[in-house]
Each structure stands twice: as C-alpha cells, then as structure tokens.
RNA sequence: GGAGGAGUGGCCGAGCGGUCGAAGGCGGCGGACUUGAAAUCCGUUGUGGCGGCAACGUCACCCAGGGUUCGAAUCCCUGCUCCUCCGCCA
C-alpha cells in the first residue's frame, strides 16, 4: 500500500506511475481507454475527500458525546431530589448523539473501505531507471555471464530436461498426475539428492552472508498474503486457499518471512534484519496453460530458499541492499556453473509491491533460450505500510526520539529447486545421457553424476 | 478431539459501568550525587488518524469483531491466541 499523502499531495504523480504500471483498478476504467489512469486516481481522491469530511463530522459528534457524559457524571453531585430532572434531558441528548454517531461511523467505515479497496490495489512507485513498458522486449538486459555450451562442437544433440529426466528415471510426472494432478511430480533417485543439495548449498551461501536461517510454515493467513501484496481471491489468483479456514498455501516464503514482523516497531540497531527461509511453494498457475508448460519449468509445487531483508526506511539503504541481493543470486548461479543474463524488469511487469525488480535468467539449452530462475525485488515501504512494520529513529548522535518510519522490505530467490533443476539437467548433461553434478553440490549430494540406472 | 483457565502499555501487573490512555513495578531515556561505576534520588517514557506552517487541538486504540448502555478496559455473545489436565499421535 502506498502513502495516502501521495494521493492528497501528488495525485498527478500517482496517475503517471499508474500509467507506466498498467494496473487496472476499476472494471469500468480499462487500460485500453485514454486517460484511464488519471480518471482512476481522481475517483479514489474523491472517495478520500468524502471520507475525511464524514470522519471529521463524526469526531465532532463524539466530542459532544463526551461532554454529555461528563455532565451526567456531575449530576450525581446534585441533591438527590434534583437528580432525576437533571438527568432526563441529558439522556435524551445522549440518545440523539449516539444515533447520529452510529450513522456517521457507519458511513465513514463504508467510505474508508471503498477507498482502501481501490487504493490498496495501486502499485508501488517505480524506480526512475526501471525501463518503461509492458512487454518482454521492454526489460533491460544488464549483463550476461558465462557462455552456453556448444553441443555441436561436442558432437551431440542436447536433450531437454524432460527427456533427460525420463531417460534417467529421476522425475515421475505420470505418478504426480495420478495421485495429485497435472503439473505435480515426484522427484526420484539422483534428482532427490540434487534437489536437497541445492537447498543445502543455497542455505550455506545465505548463512555466510549473514542471513538468519528459517524453515517457515507452508501456510499463512489471508491477511498476511494481502499485507505482502498478494491477492488470494478472484478468478486469476495464483494462490491456493484452504477450505473452511482463513489459510492459504504460500507461493513463496516471502509471505511467511515478511509477516514475521507485522505490527512490530524495531530498533534501528537491529537493522538490517536479514532472513533466509526454506519453504515449499504452491502456485495455481491459473491461465498459464500452454505456455512453457512442459516439464519442471512451471509446476504447482516446488521448494525454494528465499532471501529476505528488513532495512531502514531509506531509498539509498534499500537500493544498496537490493544490489547486494542480486550479487548473492549471481554468486549462486556462477557457482552452479550456469550461464545466465540479468534483466532489469520493465514497469508494466513489476507486480504491485515492487519498486524495482531484477530477474536472473539461466540459459536453457532445451528451449534454446534464457528462462527465469530467480527474481529479487525492492518493495520499499509498500508492504511494510500494510503490515505496520516500523523502526524507530533518533535525531543526531543517540539523540531524542524521532518519528517512527516504515521499514523497507526486500526479497530475492536464493534458489528455486525446480527451475534450477531444469537448468542443471540441461546445461550439465553429458553425451552419454548422464548429468554431471556441479562441483559445489557434490559434497552435499554425495554423488558426482546422475547416471542411467542399470 | 474433550474439560477448565487466561488475554491490559517494551515486560510484569492493578483496575466499583462515569473522574482511565489507564495505578504500581521493571526496563529505557534525561538529570543530580560519584574520580568512574553501582546504589540512591528527581524527571521523563505507548501507537496511529484528522485539522494546523507551528505551538497545539481533537478522535481512536486495554487480543479481534459484534451487542447492551446516556456512558464500557470494566457487562453479554462470537472468533482468535496462549496455559493446564485428559485422549490421540509423527
């Protein structure tokens, strides 16, 4: 959620940002129509103005109520015979005020709800350097690392990860489909060791960089999802809900890590707070049928080691941390010996909470293209505002207390095992159909290669 | 799953339906005393909304949501969380 001050003081800035983000808020103001962004902001601003009027009126009435009730208290000091007569008009007035106050409160709540529903859907502001646009071509490639293998020179045709997995009998989609459903799978044999080794390695790197290790719940309250900017409801939701409860399966440990500090006010000395979380991730992938749907690339469940940070509510600080997150992600994929490129994601593809987002795409020989393997976002104070996560400030050197500020929050993938498996299978396949385990994982996996079972 | 008990400020803890945003203690911060520290003493110390350049004013918040009442931290209902006992179990 954004700061309401922006709506009141700089509505044109919000309209401009909304235009770049291409986020439709109202059904009757589609992004295809000219001036939709400005009209959207105008409508929310009008709601806010009405809300504040009603709120102020309600407060005046409540103040009058207090006065009446204080007068009633003094009635008790009068001589007994006079009390009843003095009390009657006050009771009458109190009743009127009560009724009026209830009306106004109800109206204010309705207006506030209406305003917040729309306002909370407005996306975060956008980093000035983020490329503007809303297609895949609009992302800016920052750099490439590594060189894709020349399989022709090595004298064999590379297989895609699915062919490799089937031949090696290390992933079973048929059983996954039978027992659970399409896009579920069993990992088997060497893939299990490799998956666990990836987790273990990523955790190692995170710990080395000062992240506190966590294994988080795989479910979270709807309220937490919303606080972090996820929308658990609606047809196009990516989120699985648990029936007869207010719980959802998490799509990422970002939710469970970010939610940990909800409602907290932390001391600046505790920042930056670096957390690493291991969790399963569940995604409905609604509407994703057809596209890149083969194999492990897009599945309903995978395991992920997530990096998360709470930092001071200061852009310079969070941007520095964001660069650090990207560094760590690159360190991991370099260690895995996977060629990749880094993208600065375009405004229209950022997702609500993100102020800026970098994706790492690993080379995937099977599809002859780069495919997303990590993503790191600086969400600034967008999530913190909704979750009420603040830190204290002090003026000068250990000086007096200043105003509490919302923390900035960042998240990033250390490793999502399913996608990493795709990249490792395909990049490290050998002419004989086996898969070489990257050196950094061999100790954790206990094997050096996944070979056909005999 | 069954039976009881409890949820108040950073923590502990008091609170006849009106004078309670809330006693007291601890902790924190500032100061006095001290060569320094401890001890002692004095003062101070919750979060947010709205209005205002500001001083300041005002409203809300005693787990959450409803209700009773002129008036609720205090009474009633529901939910959530925690504790104890029993059952079951990785």
Answer whether residue A397 shows pLDDT above 50: no
pLDDT tens digits, one per residue of A133-183: 988 889 999 999 999 999 999 999 999 999 999 999 999 999 999 999 888
Cis previous bond, A382, omega within 30 = no
Q: What is the C-alpha to C-alpha distance for residues A157 and A434, in angstroms, rounded to an integer? A: 13
Find the Å distance, CA of residue A417 to C1' of nucleotide B15.
Answer: 56
Q: According to the model, what pLDDT value does residue A89 have?
A: 85
Enumerate residues 6+ apart whose C-beta is below 8 A from A11.
Answer: A41, A42, A45
Which nucleotides in chain B lie less than 7 Å from some protein C-beta?
Answer: 18-19, 29-30, 47-51, 58-60, 69-71
Q: What is the C-alpha to C-alpha distance for residues A335 and A420, in angstroms, rounded to an integer? A: 12
CB A91 within 7 Å, strand B: yes
- Exposure string over A53-86, b if 16+ CB within 10 A, otherwise e: ebbebbeebeebbeebeeeeeebeeeeeeeeeee
The CA-based angle A32-A35-A37, given to 5 degrees, is 85
Query: What backbone phi and psi angles, to 5 degrees, belong to A406?
Result: -75, 140
Question: pTM, whole model, 2 decimals?
Answer: 0.91
- Exposure string over A130-156, b if 16+ CB within 10 A, otherwise e: bbebeeeebbeeeeeeeeebeeeeeee
Closest nucleotide relative to residue A58's CA, C1' based: B59
Q: How far is CA A32 from CA A11, A133, A351, in A?
A: 21, 14, 19
Find the Å distance, CA of residue A442 to C1' of nucleotide B51.
Answer: 66
Q: What is the C-alpha to C-alpha distance for residues A341 and A262, in angstroms, rounded to an integer? A: 35
Residue with tokens 């395909």: A426
pLDDT mean over A202-217: 95
Lowest mean pLDDT among A73-87, A313-327, A437-451: A73-87
Which SS3 state, helix, strand or coil, does residue A236 take? coil
Lowest mean pLDDT among A11-20, A47-56, A211-220, A292-301: A292-301
Query: What backbone phi and psi angles, to 5 degrees, belong to A238?
Result: -90, 0
Q: How do beta strands A301-311 and A171-172 pair?
A: unpaired
Closest nucleotide relative to residue A61's CA, C1' based: B59
CB A346 within 8 A of CB A135: yes
What number is the ipTM of this complex?
A: 0.81
pLDDT tens digits, one per residue of A98-144: 888 888 888 888 898 889 889 989 999 999 999 999 888 899 999 99
Q: What is the C-alpha to C-alpha distance for residues A145 and A418, in angstroms, rounded to an integer? A: 21
Closest nucleotide relative to residue A97's CA, C1' based: B70
């Amino acid at each position: 959620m954004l700061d309401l001050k922006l709506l009141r003081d700089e509505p044109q800035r919000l309209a401009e940002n909304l235009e770049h983000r291409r986020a439709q808020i109202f059904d009757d103001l589609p992004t295809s129509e000219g001036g939709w962004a400005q009209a959207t902001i105008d409508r929310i601003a009008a709601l806010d103005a009405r809300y504040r009027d009603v709120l102020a009126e309600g407060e005046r009435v409540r103040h009058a109520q207090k006065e009446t009730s204080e007068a009633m208290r003094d009635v008790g000091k009068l001589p007994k015979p006079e009390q009843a007569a003095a009390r009657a008009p006050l009771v009458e007035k109190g009743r009127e005020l009560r009724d009026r106050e209830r009306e106004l409160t109800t109206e204010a709540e309705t207006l506030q709800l209406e305003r917040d529903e729309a306002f909370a859907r407005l996306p975060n502001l956008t980093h000035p350097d983020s490329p503007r646009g809303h297609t895949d071509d609009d992302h800016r490639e920052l750099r490439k690392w590594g060189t894709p293998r020349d399989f022709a020179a090595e004298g064999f045709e590379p297989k895609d990860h699915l062919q490799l997995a089937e031949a090696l009998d290390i992933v079973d989609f048929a059983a996954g489909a039978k027992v659970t459903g399409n896009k579920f799978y069993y990992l088997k044999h060497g893939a299990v060791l490799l998956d666990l080794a990836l987790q273990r390695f990523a955790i190692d790197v995170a710990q080395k960089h000062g992240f506190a290790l966590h294994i988080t719940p795989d479910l979270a309250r709807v309220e937490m999802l919303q606080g972090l900017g996820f929308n658990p409801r609606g047809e196009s939701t990516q989120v699985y809900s648990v029936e007869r409860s207010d719980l959802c399966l998490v799509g990422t440990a970002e939710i469970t890590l970010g939610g940990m500090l909800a409602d907290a006010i932390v001391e600046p000395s505790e920042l930056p707070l670096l957390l690493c979380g291991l969790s399963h991730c569940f995604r409905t992938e609604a509407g994703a049928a057809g596209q890149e749907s083969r194999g492990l690339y897009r599945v309903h469940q995978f395991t992920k080691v997530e990096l998360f940070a709470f930092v001071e509510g200061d852009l310079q600080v969070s941007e520095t941390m964001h660069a650090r997150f990207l560094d760590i992600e690159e360190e991991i994929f370099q260690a895995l010996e996977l060629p990749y490129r880094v993208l600065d994601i375009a405004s229209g593809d950022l997702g609500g909470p993100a102020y800026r987002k970098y994706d790492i795409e690993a080379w995937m020989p099977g599809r002859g293209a780069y495919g997303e393997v990590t993503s790191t976002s600086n969400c600034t104070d967008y999530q913190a505002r909704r979750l009420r996560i603040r830190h204290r400030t002090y003026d000068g050197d250990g000086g007096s207390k200043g105003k509490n500020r919302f923390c900035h929050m960042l998240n990033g993938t250390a490793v999502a095992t399913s996608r990493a498996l795709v990249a490792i299978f395909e990049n490290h396949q050998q002419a004989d159909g086996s898969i070489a385990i990257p050196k950094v994982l061999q100790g954790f996996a206990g094997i050096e290669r996944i070979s056909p079972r005999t």
